[in-house]
Structure 1
C-alpha cells in the first residue's frame, strides 16, 4: 500500500468514526423517546382509568344507597309500593327500580305488575343473597342499551334491583377517552361482563401496556390503553423537545472525536517524524543484585522529547504505537539507539541490558535478525541482552515463537516476562515458553507490608518462581523495607527509585563506577 493510499484510508476511517460519534446521541435518543413516550402514555392511561373509577364509584354508590332504601318495599304488593318506586326512579342515573319476591321480579317503577324469573333476566349470573352488581347488554324494556344492575336479596329471595342506565357510563367513558385517545372500559372482576365507550372500545385481551384500576368498594375494575395515535403524538412532542439537545450533543461529540482522532493520527505521524529526527533517547534504570548489592544490569527505557513541547509520557506514545502498528518499528529504533549508546559506552560482557519487545514482534521471524544486528553493532563484550516480553497482548503458542525463542536462547540472549501477573501471562506461559526471568510488577511490590490482595499474589509469584527455577526481578522498589522483604524471600534482583532513576548511558556508566568503588546510594 502506497503512502497516498494509507493517508486516504486514514482519512476515510477518521470521518467514519466522527460520523459514528455524531450519530451516537441519535441512536440513544430514539429508543429513549420511544420508552419515555410509552411511560407517559401508560401514566396517562392509568390517570384516565382512575378518573373513570372515581365517577363510576360515585354512580354505583348512589345505586347501592337507593337499593338499600328500597329494600323494605320488597314483598309488598305493587299497589302498595307504587308511589315509593315512582318517586325514587326520578333520580339521576337510574332507568328503573324493580321489586323481587322469591327470586321473581313482580313490580317495576315504569310498568304495572308483571312476572319475570330472576334467572331469566340474569341467565349467566348466579345472583347470591346480599349485594351484587351485574353488567347486562339490555333490559326487557330497553333491550338495545346496556345497563348495570345493583341487586339486593335476602335469604328468602326477596329484594330489589336498581338499574343504572349504561348511557351515563358510556358518556363518562367517551368523555375521558377523548377522540380515540384511550381504549377504556369497565368490567366485572372476572372479565366476563363489561361496558365500553362508543368510540374506541375496550383494550384487547393480552395487551401489554394496559393500565388497570380495581375498585376498593365495588366488584369491578377499569382497564385503559393509550391508543397508537396518542403514542405517536407523545413521540413527536418528545422528539421536538429533545431535538436541540441531541443536535448540540451530536455536534459536540463529533467535534471531540474529530479533535481526538486528529491528535491521535497527528501523534502517529509525530512518532514517525520523531524517529527520523532523532527526538527519541534511551535512559537506563539500574538493576541491582539483592544478594551482593552489585549492579547486574539495567533496563533500557525509551524517552521522547519533542522540540518545543518537552517530554511525552511513555505510556501515551507506546499505546499509540501499539494500536497504529508502530510498536515494532519503535522497538527497532530502540535497538538502534541502544546499539549506538553501548558502542560509545560499553558496560562489560556480564552487564545485562533489558529491552522491551511486544508479543507481536516475537512472533515475527525478523526478531532474530534484529537482535543479531544489535549484537553486531555493539560488538562482543559491550553487554549482554535480556528481551523483556510485555504483557499488553497475548503470546500465541505457534511454531514460529518456539523457533525464535530457541534461536535467541541458543545465541545467549535471555528472555523475561515483564510485569508478570498483570496482563495476559499465566502459569501456561511458564509451562510452554522457555523464560529465564520473571519481572514482578511495581503494584505487587507496593503492597508489601499491607493486607492488600496484591501482597498475597506476590507471595504466590515468588513461590511459583522458586518451584520452577526462574529468577525474579522486582520493579518499583522504593523503600529499604521493600528491599529487605524481597531479599529475605529469595528475590534475586530489584530496580526502582531506591537505587536510581532512569538516566542516560554516560550517567549510568558513572553511577556504576561509583557503586563499585563506594557504598550504595541512600534512600531518597
Structure 2
C-alpha cells in the first residue's frame, strides 16, 4: 500500500505508544509479582522468627520437665539432702537460675539458699490454680527486679508437690527473642497476661501494650505465646521493591521491543488485504460488455475495487500483484464469488447473459478453483452464465489443464 508520509508518521507514533503501553503493562505485572513475592517473604520470615522462638523456649521447658520427672523423689527428702542434687541439676540445665522444692504446697528448699518456708499460694498464687504452670515475675532476691520465668512441674502422684524452675529469662530473651531485621522490629514473650519485650528489663501487663503483633504464635505444649512486632508487611514489601526495578525495566524494554517489531507487520500490504477482506472493504463494480452490432449488453465484467477509510481508493495495479505475491489472490476471488452470489438477483436472469471474472493461474492448483466454484456459485443453480478470464501474470501449469475440462462441464 502506498502510505502517505503523514499516515506513516501517525502509524509509527501509534506503534511507539502501543509498545510503550505494552512495556508499562509488563513492568506493572513484573513489579506486582515482585511485590506479592516480597509480601510472602516478609510473612514467612516473621512466622519463622516466631516459630524459632517458640521451639527454643519449648526445648528449655522440655528439659526442665524431663529432669524434674527423673528426680521427683527429691520432694520427699530433707533440704540438706536435696540441695546438692538441686545445684547439680541447675548446672545440667545451665539456663536455670534456681530450683525450688515444694511439698504439700510449701516451698521448703532452694538450690541457692537452702531451707525455705513459704506458702506456694502466697509466693506464686498462679501455681495454686489447676493447669497453670508458667508465670513471669520480677526476681525477689538475686538481682532483685530482673525478669524471671517460673515453671511449675508437679509430681504425677501429688499435684501439691513438685519443683519450680526459675529461668533468668531476661538473659535468655536476648538470644531467643532477638529480632531479625528488617522483617522484625522486636519480639515479646506473653505468659498469663504478663509480657516481656526483647531488650527490656521490666515485665509489663499485656493489656497495656498498644502495638498489635504482626504474628502471634502459641506454644502447643505450654501456656505462653510469642508475638512478633514489625512495620506493616505492605510497607516492608514496598521498601524492597527498588532492588527489583532493574529487572522489571528489562522486562519493560523486551515487551516494548517485541510489540514494536510485531506491530510492524501491520505496515505490510498483506495484512491490510486480509483485514480488508474480513471487513468487506472490497467492492464489486460492473463493466458492461456491449454487442457492437446490436448495441445490446450481453454481459458484464466484474472488477474488484478497494476503498480504505484512511487511504482512500487503492488501485488494483497495486493490490492485485501484491495479493498474488503473498498468496491472497485466492481469498480475493472467493470473496468476489461470495459477494457476486449474494447479489446475483441484480443481473438479468437469462442464459444469454454472462458474468466475467478474472482468475489467477495459482487458483487452479490442486483443484481449488473447481471446488470454490461449486461451493460458492454452482450449488445455488444460477441462471446467469459465468465466464472465467485467466490473467496474464502467471502461466497455467500443464497439470492444471485437466481442470479446464471439469470447469467446462460445470458450465
Task: Give the structure-1-normalised TM-score.
Answer: 0.48
- Counterpart CA distance in 2 for 1:33 and 1:183 is 26
Q: Against the structure 1 CA distance between its residues 180 and 144, is the aligned structure 2 distance closer, same or farther, given a 3 Å change threshold?
A: farther
Corresponding residue of 2:120: 117
Corresponding residue of 1:95: 97
Q: Deviations over 1:268-327 (max 9, x none)?
A: xx5xxxxxxxxxxxxxxxxxxxxxxxxxxxxxxxxxxxxxxxxx3xxx43554489xxx5
C-alpha contact 1:34 1:235 (8 A) present in aligned 2: no
- Aligned: 1:138 with 2:141: no
Q: Deviations over 1:61-96 (max 9, x none)?
A: 332233224422225454554444445445521122
Corresponding residue of 2:162: 159
C-alpha contact 1:21 1:257 (8 A) present in aligned 2: yes
Unpaired segments of 5 or more residues in structure 2? 201-205, 310-336, 348-367, 392-400
- Aligned with 2:154: secondary structure? strand
Corresponding residue of 1:19: 20
Q: Against the structure 1 CA distance between its residues 218 and 505, is the aligned structure 2 distance closer, same or farther, given a 3 Å change threshold?
A: same
Larger radius of gyration: 2
- Counterpart CA distance in 1 for 2:15 and 2:387 is 38
C-alpha contact 1:203 1:224 (8 A) present in aligned 2: no
Corresponding residue of 1:339: 286
Once the 2 structures are TM-superposed, how far is the Cα of residue 255 of structure 1 from its aligned partner? 2.4
Q: Deviations over 1:368-409 (max 9, x none)?
A: xxxxxxxxxxxxxxx997575xxxxxxxxxxxxxxxxxxx99
- Counterpart CA distance in 2 for 1:516 and 1:56 is 94
Q: How does 1:287-298 map to 2 (within 5 A)?
A: none
- Aligned: 1:30 with 2:27: no
Once the 2 structures are TM-superposed, how far is the Cα of residue 214 of structure 1 from its aligned partner? 4.7
- Counterpart CA distance in 2 for 1:518 and 1:28 is 61
- Counterpart CA distance in 2 for 1:251 and 1:476 is 47
Once the 2 structures are TM-superposed, how far is the Cα of residue 253 of structure 1 from its aligned partner? 2.4
C-alpha contact 1:42 1:225 (8 A) present in aligned 2: no
Aligned match for 1:506, one of 376, 385, 389: 389
C-alpha contact 1:186 1:195 (8 A) present in aligned 2: yes
Bigger relative contact order (CA 8 A; separation at least 6): 2
- Aligned with 2:117: secondary structure? coil
- Aligned with 1:146: secondary structure? strand
Q: How does 1:332-371 map to 2 (within 5 A)?
A: 334-335=283-284, 338-340=285-287, 343=289
Aligned match for 2:257, one of 255, 264, 272: 255
Corresponding residue of 1:454: none
Unpaired segments of 5 or more residues in structure 1? 271-311, 361-382, 389-407, 415-474, 484-490, 495-502
Q: How does 1:428-467 map to 2 (within 5 A)?
A: none
- Aligned: 1:317 with 2:317: no
Once the 2 structures are TM-superposed, how far is the Cα of residue 170 of structure 1 from its aligned partner? 0.9
Corresponding residue of 1:197: 198
- Counterpart CA distance in 2 for 1:73 and 1:62 is 17
Q: Deviations over 1:440-490 (max 9, x none)?
A: xxxxxxxxxxxxxxxxxxxxxxxxxxxxxxxxxxx99969xx99xxxxxxx
- Counterpart CA distance in 1 for 2:70 and 2:27 is 64
C-alpha contact 2:53 2:177 (8 A) present in aligned 1: no
- Counterpart CA distance in 1 for 2:54 and 2:369 is 73
- Counterpart CA distance in 1 for 2:102 and 2:370 is 100
C-alpha contact 1:45 1:182 (8 A) present in aligned 2: no
- Counterpart CA distance in 1 for 2:147 and 2:137 is 6
Corresponding residue of 1:302: none
Once the 2 structures are TM-superposed, how far is the Cα of residue 155 of structure 1 from its aligned partner? 3.3
C-alpha contact 1:136 1:193 (8 A) present in aligned 2: yes
Aligned length: 328
C-alpha contact 1:148 1:166 (8 A) present in aligned 2: no
- Counterpart CA distance in 1 for 2:116 and 2:101 is 10
Once the 2 structures are TM-superposed, how far is the Cα of residue 43 of structure 1 from its aligned partner? 3.2
C-alpha contact 1:63 1:150 (8 A) present in aligned 2: no
Q: How does 1:171-190 map to 2 (within 5 A)?
A: 171-175=174-178, 177=180, 181-187=184-190
Q: How does 1:255-294 map to 2 (within 5 A)?
A: 255-264=257-266, 266-267=267-268
C-alpha contact 1:49 1:223 (8 A) present in aligned 2: yes
C-alpha contact 2:61 2:151 (8 A) present in aligned 1: no
Task: Give the structure-2-normalised TM-score.
Answer: 0.58
Once the 2 structures are TM-superposed, how far is the Cα of residue 119 of structure 1 from its aligned partner? 6.3
- Counterpart CA distance in 2 for 1:150 and 1:37 is 42
Q: CA RMSD in A?
A: 5.4
- Aligned with 1:74: secondary structure? helix
C-alpha contact 1:38 1:231 (8 A) present in aligned 2: no
Q: Against the structure 1 CA distance between its residues 255 and 184, is the aligned structure 2 distance closer, same or farther, given a 3 Å change threshold?
A: same
- Aligned with 1:256: secondary structure? helix
- Aligned with 1:113: secondary structure? strand
